[in-house]
Amino acid sequence: MRNYREHLIVTGSTIREALYMLNRLASDAILFVVDRDRKLIGSLTDGDIRRGLLNNFETDDIVDDIIQPNPRLIRKLDYSIEEIVEYRAENLKIIPVLDDKGKVLNVINFRLQKSYLPLDAIIMAGGKGTRLKPLTDTVPKPLLKVGDKAIIDHNIDRLRLFGIDDFWISVRYLGEQLEEHLGDGVSKGININYVWEDEPLGTIGAVKKIRDLKHDLVLVTNSDILTTLDYEEFFLDFIKSGAEMSVATIPYEVNVPYAVMETSGREVTGFKEKPNYTYYSNAGIYLFKRSMFEQIPEATFFNATDLMTKAIEMGLRINSYPMRNYWLDIGKHEDFKKAQEDILHLNLNK
């Protein structure tokens, strides 16, 4: 994806400088004029420059005199998915994202991404990957390559495609390698923070250590999966459900080739001819209201399934989101081999 700073031009720049920048942006040709603190002043397109030149401005004049002062925008911590859907419907392609002081933090580009979901993403990457030894003796499982990219990069890039730019990575085993590989996320146009587990805390226990999440809704995912899940559809389904938590699930069908007797004790009460049964397995991808994390104990081994059990006992609603997308848990050597074959036919960036 393009670095959002390529769309920023500082107040006082010349029209000639703007033309060079717009030419480099090609089909993404729009600039956002900012002051020295990156506070938004206005927007500028090829059309604005043409109108300026027709009004006798020169290429050595400054851009401030020909900008549009009130561009459409998104406030980072004060927007809804409905706004994003509306902007797409209006065919708006490129939109600046501002903080509460008017500073540009990012630029949404709907040519290169699908959405801009109001979520923090937490990737659980602290496990040892024991079943993949000896591959994981010196490399953490999330850094094993599938195709030409590490597993965790496939996951992060897929989430970025849906506009998620606030990431937390839970690390323990060989976590220094993950920190070195991913850094602070600036090169990917995102923010990455790390949560260190001093001891194993299960599949969700480490979340309790995070104190400054940006959003009220949080996505938690295992780091060892490949998926083409549409995260916006998952998100919209969660909002519509009114649940406290939503779990992506994998439908698993069992076809019984015989008639099955229905019984009550030893009494036969009926028959089902060659029935099909559908069961749902946990895909390791969850959406939560942040308030749910209050139910996670401090410094305790705690799995996502423990949280679900606790929520059910409390009478809270948990929603199942049956996936119809590609999904693979890379837990064993045969899974890793399958991932290498499947990645040749997948496009996780669409």
Under a CB-based contact definition with an 8 Å cutoff, are residues 100 and 146 in contact?
Answer: no
- Domain ranges for the chain: 4-109, 120-342
* Fold of domain 4-109: CBS-domain (3.10.580)
Give the closest residue to 248 by CA, choosing from 168, 329, 193: 329
Kindly tell me if the per-residue pLDDT of 266 is higher than 90: no
pLDDT for 277-295, tens place per residue?
A: 888 899 999 999 999 999 9
Once rounded to an integer, what is the mean pLDDT over residues 25-46?
Answer: 94
The distance of Cα 196 from the centroid of its chain, to the nearest Å, equals 21
User: Assign residue 185 a region: left if phi > 0, alpha if psi is -120 to 50, beta otherwise?
Assistant: left
Average pLDDT in the chain: 92
Mean pLDDT of 54-63: 92
Which of 1.10.150.20, 3.30.365.10, 3.40.710.10, 3.90.550.10 is the CATH number of 120-342? 3.90.550.10
Regarding predicted confidence, which is higher, 287 or 189? 287
Q: What is the mean pLDDT of residues 24-34?
A: 94
Sequence-distant (6+) residues with CB within 8 A of 174 are 138, 139, 140
Task: Give the per-residue pLDDT at 334.
Answer: 95
Distance of CA 1 to the CA centre of its chain: 14
What is residue 167's predicted lDDT score, i.e. its pLDDT? 96
Q: What is the pTM of this model?
A: 0.89
pLDDT tens per residue, range 319-337: 999 999 999 999 999 999 9
pLDDT of residue 348: 83
Give the Å distances, CA to CA, from 337 to 9, 132, 145, 224, 344.
47, 11, 11, 13, 12
> For the residues 144-170, what does the mean pLDDT come to?
95
Share of the chain above pLDDT 70, in %: 100
